[in-house]
């Protein structure tokens, strides 16, 4: 496969640009509410463990829209990662499947971290938020799709993309086992979805195709309710004339 160097030549699709603009606006609003109006919006929207007083069911679909309000630099790094890697994956699978991957990875990451927090002790009981599980899914997927691509790690060190994918998986697992990464299970959930997206015919992430399959299933189910009755026609019936009902 021909190598591809991910860098400043990357161009996002219109959907990708809108995505970053929307996330940027959300983060600015979050910063204003947290630091200037003193409304703890992060605490309301982050995914808290079940045994926490802060847990609410809606947090499963709000936690990946917010980021650490104390780390604008971290948000900018996430935006850069999206910029460098998203366009290649989106062009491969299409916009609908790409964003399905993005949000399913975020939700599954939240569920994984949520379940792990029920069975593990601190420090795995902190709330989860951000788009890191989705970004890790995209990075892993990018590396396996473009194994010979050259990535400038830290903008300096050239690394083959496939090694970046394996390294991301290994580091996430090891830091989780070492309890050095409280969000390790959260991140692994997203990585798993990225691998699943690569391994199988994942047009299952395309909601239009899912809807079409559902309609086909309904049609087959209705059709099965009708019995085909043999009219008993044979050659001898030709002499008997037409049958009138």
**Segments of the chain with pLDDT less than 50:** 1-9, 243, 245
pTM: 0.75
In a domain, 223, yes or no: no
Report how many domains make up the chain.
Answer: 1
pLDDT at 2: 38
pLDDT at 82: 93
In a domain, 227, yes or no: no
Structure tokens at 119: 């069975």
* Residue 195: CB atoms within 10 Å: 16
In a domain, 16, yes or no: yes
Query: What CATH number does residue 160 fall under?
Result: 1.20.1540.10
Which residue carries 């809807």 as its tokens?
A: 211
Considering all CA atoms of the chain, what is the largest pairwise distance in Å, rounded to the nearest integer?
Answer: 95
Structure tokens at 213: 């399959």
């Amino acid at each position: 496969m021909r190598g591809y160097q991910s860098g400043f030549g990357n161009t996002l699709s219109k959907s990708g640009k809108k995505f970053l603009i929307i996330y940027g606006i959300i983060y600015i609003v979050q910063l204003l509410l947290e630091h200037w109006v003193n409304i703890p919006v992060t605490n309301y929207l982050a995914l808290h463990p079940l045994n926490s007083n802060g847990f609410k069911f809606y947090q499963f679909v709000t936690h990946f829209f917010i980021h650490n309000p104390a780390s604008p630099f971290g948000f900018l790094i996430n935006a850069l990662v999206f910029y460098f890697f998203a366009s290649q994956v989106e062009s491969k699978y299409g916009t609908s499947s790409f964003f399905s991957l993005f949000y399913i990875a975020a939700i599954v990451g939240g569920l994984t971290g949520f379940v792990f927090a029920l069975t593990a002790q601190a420090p795995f009981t902190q709330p989860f938020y951000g788009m890191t599980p989705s970004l890790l899914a995209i990075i892993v997927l990018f590396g396996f799709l473009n194994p010979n691509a050259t990535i400038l790690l830290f903008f300096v060190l050239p690394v083959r993309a496939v090694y970046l994918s394996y390294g991301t998986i290994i580091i996430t697992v090891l830091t989780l086992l070492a309890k050095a990464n409280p969000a390790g299970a959260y991140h692994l959930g997203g990585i798993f979805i990225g691998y699943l997206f690569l391994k199988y015919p994942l047009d299952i992430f395309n909601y239009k195709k899912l809807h079409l399959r559902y309609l086909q299933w309904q049609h087959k189910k209705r059709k099965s309710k009708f019995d085909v009755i043999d009219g008993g026609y044979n050659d001898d019936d030709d002499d008997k004339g037409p049958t009138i009902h």
